[in-house]
Structure 1
Amino acid sequence: MGFLLPILLGVFLLFTATPPSLSQLPPEIDPPAPAPISPSELCNGIFLSYTFILGRQIPPNDTTDQPYRFESVLTVLNNGREELKEWRVFVGFQHHEILTSASDAIIVNGTDLPAPVGNGTIFAGYPVSDLKTAIQTAGDLKQMTATIELVGTQFMVAPPAIPLPSNISLVNDGWSCPEPTATPLSKRQITTCCIRDPTFEVNTTTITDKFLPRQPGDLTIMYDVIRAYDQNYLAEVTMENHNPLGRLDHWELSFDWMREEFIQKMQGAYPTVVDATKCIFGPQSQIYTGLDFADVLTCERRPIIVDLPPTKAEDPVLGKIPSCCRNGTILPRTMDPSKSASIFTMQVAKMPPDFNRSALSPPQNWRIKGTLNPDYSCGPPVRVSPTLYPDPSGMPTNKTSFASWQIVCNITHAKTETPKCCVSYSAFFNDSIIPCNTCACGCVSETRRTCSAKTPSLLIPPDALLVPFENRTSLTVAWNALKHKTIPNPMPCGDNCGVSINWHIATDYRGGWTARITIFNWGEIDFPDWFLAVQMKKPAIRGFEKAYSFNASLLSIEGGVNNTIFMEGLPGLEYLVAERDELDPKKNLRVPGKQQSVIQFSKKLTPGINVPERDGFPAKVIFNGEECLLPDVLPLASGGRRNGFDTMVLLCMVIFVVALVI
C-alpha cells in the first residue's frame, strides 16, 4: 500500500491545482494571410500594365525646365481565348517625354529613336508581334507576354513624384479598354484589362489561322517575297493609292533594315545614293568574302528609294517592270487607274543567323513622301496571306508569293504641319485682292529679320497677282496708300508657297453665279497630270453645273456626300509648268505657270444662297492632294458693286505712283 500513496497524492494535486490563465497558454499561430491577387489574374482578356521603375535628374541644371531620366516597363499579357496578332498599344505620355530606347517594340508611325512622344505614341511588337494564348501554349508566359523596357527623358517631374501616362489602351480593332487604374499596393503602376467589344463584328477565327486580313488605307504598300534563297531573296514592292484625293509626285520611299541586310540589285527604282562603304567596313564584308561590293547598290541601314524616269521604262537592266518609271507619280484612281500604283523589285542579301530560305524579315519604319503632296503616316509591316500572281506560263492558274507583308499608310492632318499651297480671294464687288496669309507656307528665320511674320498680309491690286512677291512691294505700298490703309514697318513677309490659287467671284445674278479659279505655280517643278479639288458648302454645291476650261465633275467623298468639285486639265492642258523668266528681258521678272477656268453655278436648286458673304467661297481647296491654307477674311461688298470705270481710275493712279517711285 505504501507505493500507492504517492500516486494517489499526485492525482489529487492534478485535480485540485488552479488552472493556468489564458496568458500562460502557448499562443495560437494564425494561418498566413492569403497573398493578394494580382490584377492580371482577374483579367480574362488582354492585360496591360505600365510600371515606373526609376527617375533621376540629369544635366543641365535648369529650374525652369529640368530634364530627368526615366525607366519604365510596359507589359502586354494575353489572358484571352484567341491569339492576339500584331499587337499595338497606345501609351499616353504627358510629360514632354523623349523616348531613347524601347526593347522588343517599335513606334508604329516609323519614327526613329530618339523620338518626342509627349503627346502619346503607339507601340507595336518587334521582332515578335503575336501573343499566343495560355490554351495554345499550356500557360507558357514567354509566348503569352510582351515586356517592353522603356528609357527616355522627361521634364519637370522631380522625385519623389511618379510620372505615369494618362492612359494605356490596346489599339487593335475590336477591343475595348476601360480607363486604367493604379494598383492597390503600388503607386508606380497602372493597369487595365481589355476585352472584346461585343458590338464589333469579328470574322470567325480558329487556332489554325495564320494571317490577318488586309486592311484599307489611303496608300498601301505590299512587300512580297517572290524568290527565296539561303543567303538572299527577291522582293517586289507595290505602292497603291486608294484615296480619291491622295497623290504622290516624285515619291521618296525609305525604311530601316533591322538585321544588317543590304540591297544588291534593283529594277523599277533606284537608291538616291549608291554606296557600299558601310558593307566594306562592316560585318558584311567578313561574310561575303567573294562578293564584289562595287556591284552592290546600297548598304545604308535606311536607304532612300526613288522612281526612275520614263526613259528607263524599257531598259533591260533597270526597267522592264510594270507600273514603274513615271518620275514618282502616283495618281488617284479617279484620274487614271493605270497610274495609281508604282512597283519595283530589289534583291536583298541577308546576314547570319538568317541563312535559311524561310528566314524572311521585312524592313521596318516605312515612310513615303512627295513634293507638294500630303504627309503620310505608315504603320508597321503586317503579315498577310501570300499575294496571288498570274502564272507567267499562261496557264489559267495563279502563283503565290513566298511571304507577304502589308504596310498601311494614311494621310495625316497634324496641327503642326506647314501647308505647301495657299488661296487668295477676290470678287467683282471689291477691287482689292485678299492675298495669301503671311507665312502661309512657313517663314525661315533669315527672312524674318527683314519682314514681319506676324503682321497680316496687305491688300494688293489685281495685276499684282501675276508678280512674284519680292517684286510687288511698290505696287502693294501704292495701293494701300490709295486705300488709306496703314503701311506697317517692317512689311509683312510673303506666303512662301510654291503654288497659290486665286478664287474670284466673277458674277452674281438672279439665275446663277460664276467663279473664276486660277492656279499659279511659283516653284521650280512642273506638275504633270495636276488636279484641283474644291469643297463647297452645301447650298452652293447643289448648283454646280460645269467648268469651261477644266475637266470638272462632282466627287463623292466623306460618307458619300457630293460636296467636292474635282478638276483636272483638258487634253493638252494637263501640264502646269514651273515659274520661268519673262520673255521680255527688259522686264526682268519671273512669270509663274498658270491654268485658269470659269465655273458655272445655277440658283435653281439653291434659292436664298448668299454668294458674296459666305456661300460663294470654298470651305476647302486641295491641290494634288495637299490642303491649301485659306485666307482669314472675305472680300467686302463696300456698299455695293464697284463699276469698271472706278477700278480703271484706281489702277491708273497706282501705275502713276509707281512710276514716280521708280
Structure 2
Amino acid sequence: MEKTVCSIATAPAQKSLSCLLKKLRSSIILLLFALVFPCAVAYDPLDPTGNITIKWDVISWTPDGYVAMVTMNNYQMYRHIMSPGWTLGWAWAKKEVIWSMVGAQTTEQGDCSKFKGNIPHCCKKNPTVVDLLPGVPYNQQIANCCKGGVIAAWGQDPSAAVASFQVSVGLAGTSNKTVKLPKNFTLLGPGPGYTCGPAKTVPSTTFLTPDRRRKTQALMTWNVTCTYSQFLASKNPSCCVSLSSFYNNTITPCPKCACGCQNKKSLCR
C-alpha cells in the first residue's frame, strides 16, 4: 500500500491538499479491495462468524430406525430467511426412508412402490424438506415449526431465530454403531448462497423434562454448519469499478471476470 509522505518544503495549503488526496486515494483502494475480494470467500463479510447450525438429535429408537428432532438455529446477526422460506436437502448414506414427519414435509414422495400397506412419507435418496405454513392442524405442529420457512436473524430476535421439525427414519439402523450420518446437505434460504459442511457427531444434547425438574439426553447428536457467501448468491456482484483518468478519451474496461463474469465479453456492471 502506498505510504502518504508530505514534503516540508510544500506550502501549507498545498501540503494539506496533497496529503488529503493521497489519503483519499488509499481509502478508495482499500474500499475496492473490500468490495471485490470478499466476494470469493465462503462467508458473509458483514458477519464473518455467522452461520446456520442444523442439529439432529436422535430421541428414540424404532424397530427399523429412529425418531429425530431436527433444529435449525440462525446464528447470523443480520441475515434472516424470509418468504418463501428455507429448503433443506441431504443424501441418505444407506437406503433410508422417511416414515413420517411433524412440523415439515418433503416436496416429493419418490418411488415407494416396493412398500405394501404402510407407505412411507418419502422414499427419495435425496429428500428435500420445507416448513409447513401457519395454521396447520395441531397434530402436525411442533415447537418452532410452521412459520412458512421464515427464520429471524439472531441479532434481530433470538427467540425467533430457530426452526424445528421431527422426522421418523426407517431402514436406518437402530444403534449408534449402525446409524450412518446423512451426506451432502444443502440449504436454500430462500435463494442460493449457503454452503453446508459435512455432518459431524457431537456430544449428545441434554434436554429438560416439561416440568423442568429432570434432565434427559439425546441418544445420538450430529451437527451441520452452513455459511453464507455473497459470491454464491450472485455470480456477478456489482463490485467492479473503472479507474479511467479524466483526460483519457476512452473508458478503461473492468478487468475480465473481476466480478465472476459468466461471459468474459460481457461488460462489467
TM beyond 0.5: yes
Matched, 1:386 2:204: yes
Superposition pairs for residues 390-539 of structure 1, below 5 Å? Answer: 390-392=208-210, 394-414=211-231, 417-418=234-235, 454=266
Structure 1 residue 232 displacement after superposition: 1.9
**Contact (CA 8 Å) 1:228, 1:357: kept in 2 or not?**
no
**Contact (CA 8 Å) 2:194, 2:232: kept in 1 or not?**
no
Structure 1 residue 251 displacement after superposition: 0.5
Structure having the higher strand fraction is: 1
| Partner SS state of residue 280, structure 1 | coil
Corresponding residue of 2:123: 299
Structure 1 residue 443 displacement after superposition: 11
Give percent identity, aligned residues only. Answer: 27
Q: 2:88 aligns with which of 235, 253, 265?
A: 253
Superposition pairs for residues 112-261 of structure 1, below 5 Å? Answer: 218-249=51-82, 250-261=85-96
Structure 1 residue 414 displacement after superposition: 3.5
| Partner SS state of residue 310, structure 1 | coil
Distance 1:419 1:272, change over 3 A: farther
**Contact (CA 8 Å) 2:193, 2:231: kept in 1 or not?**
no
Cα displacement string for residues 308-342 of structure 1 (whole angstroms, at most 9, x for unaligned residues): 11112xx23321x1111111011112222221010
Which of 1 and 2 has higher RCO (CA within 8 Å, sep 6+)? 2
| Partner SS state of residue 414, structure 1 | helix
Measure the CA separation in 1 of the matches of 2:233 and 2:207: 42
Cα displacement string for residues 342-390 of structure 1 (whole angstroms, at most 9, x for unaligned residues): 0000000025xx3557522221111101225x61111111111111111
Matched, 1:341 2:151: no
| Partner SS state of residue 345, structure 1 | strand
Distance 1:326 1:415, change over 3 A: closer
Distance 1:310 1:420, change over 3 A: farther
Q: 1:329 aligns with which of 147, 150, 161?
A: 150
Aligned letter for 2:195?
A: S
Distance 1:455 1:221, change over 3 A: closer
**Contact (CA 8 Å) 2:236, 2:262: kept in 1 or not?**
no
Corresponding residue of 2:188: 369
Count residues with an aligned counterpart. 198
Structure 1 residue 409 displacement after superposition: 1.1
Cα displacement string for residues 509-535 of structure 1 (whole angstroms, at most 9, x for unaligned residues): xxxxxxxxxxxxxxxxxxxxxxxxxxx
Corresponding residue of 2:108: 273
* 377-386 or 241-250, larger mean C-alpha shift: 241-250
**Contact (CA 8 Å) 1:391, 1:398: kept in 2 or not?**
yes
Distance 1:329 1:360, change over 3 A: same
Measure the CA separation in 1 of the matches of 2:75 and 2:238: 23
Aligned letter for 2:197?
A: G
TM-score normalised by L of structure 2: 0.65
Distance 1:326 1:419, change over 3 A: farther
**Contact (CA 8 Å) 1:253, 1:305: kept in 2 or not?**
yes
Say what the alpha-carbon RMSD is for the aligned residues: 3.0
Distance 1:395 1:246, change over 3 A: closer
Aligned letter for 2:206?
A: L
Distance 1:419 1:401, change over 3 A: farther
Aligned letter for 2:133?
A: P
Structure with max Cα Rg: 1
Distance 1:356 1:245, change over 3 A: closer
